[in-house]
Amino acid sequence: MMASRDDSTGLTVRELRVVFDTSRGPIFAVDGVALDVAPGEVMGLVGESGSGKSVSLRAVARLLHANARVTGSVRWRGQELLSLSDDQMLPIRGAQIGIIFQEPMAALNPVLPIGLQIEESLIAHTTMDKAQRQARALQLLDQVGIASGATRLAQFPHEFSGGMRQRAMIAIALAASPALLLADEPTTALDVTIQDQILRLLLRLKDELGMALLLVTHDLGVVAETCTRVAVMYAGRVCETGPTADVFANPHHAYTAALLRAMPGSGPAQAKLIPIPGMAPRLDAPSPGCAFAPRCTVSEPLCTTTRPPFVQEATRSSACYGRARL
C-alpha cells in the first residue's frame, strides 16, 4: 500500500487492474498497480517485456481495446478518469495528458503529412484558426529540433528517419501543451546516439513546459539518467517504488536486485552478466503469492502461497518477504 497524498494536482493510480477477455480465457495483464506522479516530476516505470507497463499507461489514457475490463482508480487532478464517458475524456486526453506511443511508424498515419497530423490535435483541443495552427506546428517542430520546418510539415512519415519520426511524435503529443506526458518506450529501436538526443529533448521540454513525465522503459540505464523516482513492475504488479538513486543503490525487492545484477556495467569490467533464471509467468493464471518466487534466489515457502504486503518506509515502498536476505 502506498502512502496517501494530495491527488488534486497530479496523477494518482490505485489498485489498477486490467483483464483482457479472450477466446482462451481471461488474461490478467495488470494486477493492482499503484502509482503517483507529481507535477513536474519524471517517474520511470520499468520491468521486463510483458510486465504490464504499456498496458498500465494505456489504461491511464483510456486507450485499451473493448475486450479490456479495467477496475480500480485513476485520478488526474482530483478527477476520476475511469468513471468518465468517452466524450468526457476527449478534452483530457491529448490536451491535459499527452501520449508518445512506442512505435512511430505504427502510430503515425502513413498517408497524411506530418503538418496535418499536428493540426489534427490543435483542431481537437484549441480554438486556433488555420494560420495560428500552422504557426504553432512550425514552432513545435523547432522545439523538438526538426530543421526546415516548412518543408517538413508537408512531408509524410516515410520521408523521416527513425529519430525524426520520434521527434514528430513528440511534437504531436506536445501540441496542446499537456501537463502530463506519457512516454511509452520513446527510444525503442533507435541507436544510442539518437536515443540520447531524444531523452535530452524530453527532459529539456519537461523543464521548459513544466510538464510531468511518466516514462515506460525496460532500460535501467535510461531510468538512472532521467528519472527522479522509479516503479518496478513484474507480472502486472508493482513490486517496488522509490527515489531512483535509493532503489538502485539498495533494492528492497528480489526482482529489482536481479534486474540490477543483469544490467551491463553493474559489476567489474569484463565480468559476466548474471541473468535472471527461468521465464516470466503466464498471465492467465496469477500466482496467489509473489509472482517472482519461482525465479527468486531468496524465496521461502510463504512466497509461493501468500502475496507479500507493501511495506512503506519514508519515501520507499516494496513487497518482498526476502528483503533481509538480498
Q: Can you name the CATH fold of 11-96+178-266+274-325?
A: Rossmann fold (3.40.50)
Q: Is the dihedral of CA 118, 189, 93, 223 positive or negative?
A: negative
pTM over 0.75: yes
> Which helix (H) or strand (E) segment is 36 a member of?
strand 25-37
- For every residue of 99-140, DSSP letters joined together read EE-S-HHHHS-TTS-HHHHHHHHHHHH----HHHHHHHHHHH
Instruction: Tell me what pLDDT residue 219 has.
Output: 86
The CB density around residue 194, as the number of other CB atoms within 10 Å, is: 17
Four-point Cα dihedral 28, 33, 39, 41, nearest 10: -90
Grid cell of 220 as nine digits: 535501467
Torsion angles phi and psi, residue 19, rounded to 5: -120, 125
| Number of C-beta neighbours around residue 49 at 10 A | 9
Note the pLDDT tens digit of each residue in 248-267.
999 999 999 999 988 877 56
Domain-wise residue ranges, the chain:
11-96+178-266+274-325
Is the confidence at residue 322, as pLDDT, over 80?
yes
Q: H helices then E strands: how many in the chain? A: 12, 12
Lowest mean pLDDT, pick from 42-46, 75-79, 108-112, 310-314: 310-314
pLDDT the model gives residue 127:
94
pLDDT (tens digit, 9 = 90+) per residue, 53-69? 999 999 999 999 999 99
> In the chain, what percentage of residues exceed pLDDT 70?
95
Residue type, 148: S
Report the candidate in 232, 203, 242 with the shortest Cα–Cα distance to residue 291: 232
